[in-house]
Structure 1
Amino acid sequence: MSSLRFYSRIAVLVPVTLVGIPLQWLAVRLDGPGRRAIPLLYHRIVCATLGIRRIVHGEPPRGKAALILSNHVSWLDICVLSALTPLSFIAKAEVGTWPMVGLLARLQRTVFIDRARRTDTARTNDAVAQRLRAGDRIVLFAEGTTGDGTRVLPFRSALVGAAREALAGADSGLDVVLQPLAITYVRRDGLPLQRADKPAIAWHGDMELAPHLKGILSGGPIDVQLTWGTPIPFAAGTDRKQATRAAEEEVREKVREALAIGGKIGPK
């Protein structure tokens, strides 16, 4: 059964990816509306093919620029979030060098940061600020790494300064919010995930990508709960550390609640 799942999913995802890459490249090159719509459609196909079912609580930011502060569990998070609404991401620079993954990240207009260079934070903040001023919604995995899916690591506030830079460099009418978002993988094959099951989904530490990817392609349906928190208004004088801490506390609480109830409300 697992082999059948693996090859049938590959048979769908490979041609869809090969068709989507040149279409997205052209959309980005022309700066057309397709640059947001194509990744949304692509990742919805990916989620449907992999059997990923989304349980959504709350509402994503609409009609305004947003810096979304989220926990990070797996490479699957990219597919799950991108299937919800048009988004871009902030990622470590080495992701841009990974075969295929780096190409897909660049095509989704990911902002890369070199964490080995302290001065790169300012450059990244400027790039994110420009995108926010253009009305984009940018996801920052604020822990700075992936976790094991059972706890939320402390959020880093350095890149939250991008929202303040966006306000400083824009007209007074720009409305930017910090939007907390909690990602919790709650079930597989219809059964609640136990701690021992987490490594099959959570991708962290020194885990190899290829075997983990094969496990997802071969495995059963996954239910993930996505909980949008309360938007945090962000003005030029807002304390970024305090705002980041508030987002972290809400995300941690939402993850705890989701793990306790096991995502009982049906998927969307």
Structure 2
Amino acid sequence: MINWLRVTLCMMLLVAVTAVLAPVQIALLWLDTPQRRTLPRLWHRLACRLVGIRVRVHGKPDPQRPLMLVANHASWKDILVLGSILDVVFIAKSDVKAWPVFGLLARLQKTIFIDREHKRTTGNQVNEIGKRLADGEIVVLFPEGTTSDGNRLLEIKTSLFGAAAAAVPLSPTGAVHVQPVAIAYTGIHGMPMGRYHRPIAAWPGDIPLAPHLLGILHEGAVDVDVIFGEQITYTAESNRKHVSREVEKTIRIMLSLKLRGR
């Protein structure tokens, strides 16, 4: 009973915070001020606290720009986690735009939506990513293209690294810095997370969003480790497949070690 009272209170507070900050963010987007990038981080931090996600950061985001973060993807919670650490912009599937609540939040953060079904628009979308990178925004790419069970890294789609190549000519230094990031859900209620609780951490996509969100709120105590690896400098001479393999290898190692408690 106490848990459900806490869930109700958390939901009410989250709705209230969103109702206050959303109009401010709309105004900042309209005015195109730098604060439009920083306000979402405040919302993500508050959301993590209310939902019950404790974030531990290992390593540091690379200070060089343009910067693309390439991370594994286990759940919608990855958005809250990374958004609470840095002022970032995400790349998402176009159908996310139509999701209730989450679609609105994505638009308020100026998410870049990719329509993989219509190849004719791919060039424009990649160019937008390149321009946003060149403008100094930190772009987050989930190269698996979908969510996993959180225990492993799925095969990386190398075509998505075309965004880094598109940003190279626009970069003042002629380079884009690609940094691998591993997101590992490692604990629940202060104890190591085993496979039994893995469905709480991960959201493979075949589970309705609302029950999964309620399950997270009901537990109220999930630990997640975010590990930043060494950046890879992407230039006009770089091989996209080679870079993607290096990124994949690094994320796989970092994720595996952290899930094993190292």
Which TM-score band applies after superposition, normalised by the shorter structure? over 0.9
Is this contact kept in 2: 1:157–1:240, CA < 8 A?
yes
Query: Shift in Å at residue 159 of structure 1?
Result: 2.0
Is this contact kept in 1: 2:73–2:142, CA < 8 A?
yes
Query: Shift in Å at residue 118 of structure 1?
Result: 2.5
Is this contact kept in 2: 1:147–1:202, CA < 8 A?
yes
Q: Distance in 1 between matches of 2:64 and 2:9?
A: 38
Q: Distance in 2 between matches of 1:241 and 1:67?
A: 16
Change in CA separation of 1:34 and 1:162 when aligned onto 2, cut-off 3 Å: same
Is this contact kept in 1: 2:57–2:226, CA < 8 A?
yes
Q: Distance in 1 between matches of 2:93 and 2:136?
A: 23
Q: Distance in 1 between matches of 2:186 and 2:36?
A: 31
Query: Shift in Å at residue 11 of structure 1?
Result: 2.2
Q: Distance in 2 between matches of 1:28 and 1:63?
A: 25
Change in CA separation of 1:17 and 1:260 when aligned onto 2, cut-off 3 Å: same
Residue 141 of structure 1 corresponds to which residue in structure 2? 142
Letter in 2 for 1:47: C
Query: Shift in Å at residue 166 of structure 1?
Result: 1.2
Q: Distance in 2 between matches of 1:230 and 1:62?
A: 12
Give the match's secondary structure for 1:148.
coil
Query: Shift in Å at residue 174 of structure 1?
Result: 4.9
Query: Shift in Å at residue 175 of structure 1?
Result: 4.4
TM-score between both structures, scaled by the size of structure 2: 0.96
Give the match's secondary structure for 2:75.
coil
Residue 224 of structure 1 corresponds to which residue in structure 2? 224
Give the match's secondary structure for 1:4.
helix
Letter in 1 for 2:138: R
What are the ranges of 5 or more consecutive residues in structure 2 without an aligned counterpart? none
Letter in 1 for 2:195: R
Q: Distance in 1 between matches of 2:131 and 2:227?
A: 27
TM-score between both structures, scaled by the size of structure 1: 0.94
Is this contact kept in 1: 2:150–2:198, CA < 8 A?
yes
Is the deviation greater in 162-171 or in 129-138? 162-171
Q: Distance in 1 between matches of 2:24 and 2:64?
A: 25
Q: Deviations over 1:117-173 (max 9, x none)?
A: 2233322211100101101110010100000010100111112111111112344x2
Residue 179 of structure 1 corresponds to which residue in structure 2? 179
Report runs of 4+ in structure 1 exceeding 6 Å deviation: none
Q: Distance in 1 between matches of 2:41 and 2:205?
A: 28
Q: Distance in 1 between matches of 2:110 and 2:81?
A: 17
Q: Deviations over 1:205-246 (max 9, x none)?
A: 411101001111221311001000110011111001110110
Change in CA separation of 1:51 and 1:205 when aligned onto 2, cut-off 3 Å: closer
Alignment length, in residue pairs?
261
Q: Distance in 1 between matches of 2:65 and 2:170?
A: 16
Letter in 1 for 2:54: R
Q: Identical aligned pairs, as a percentage?
A: 41
Residue 27 of structure 1 corresponds to which residue in structure 2? 28
Q: Distance in 2 between matches of 1:73 and 1:3?
A: 25
Letter in 2 for 1:166: A
Is this contact kept in 2: 1:47–1:83, CA < 8 A?
yes
Is this contact kept in 2: 1:121–1:158, CA < 8 A?
no
Residue 129 of structure 1 corresponds to which residue in structure 2? 130
Residue 257 of structure 1 corresponds to which residue in structure 2? 257
Alignment of 1:65-84 (within 5 A): 65-84=66-85
Q: Distance in 2 between matches of 1:174 and 1:136?
A: 16
Q: Distance in 1 between matches of 2:147 and 2:243?
A: 21
Q: Distance in 1 between matches of 2:177 and 2:68?
A: 6
Residue 58 of structure 2 corresponds to which residue in structure 1? 57
Query: Shift in Å at residue 53 of structure 1?
Result: 1.0
Query: Shift in Å at residue 183 of structure 1?
Result: 0.4
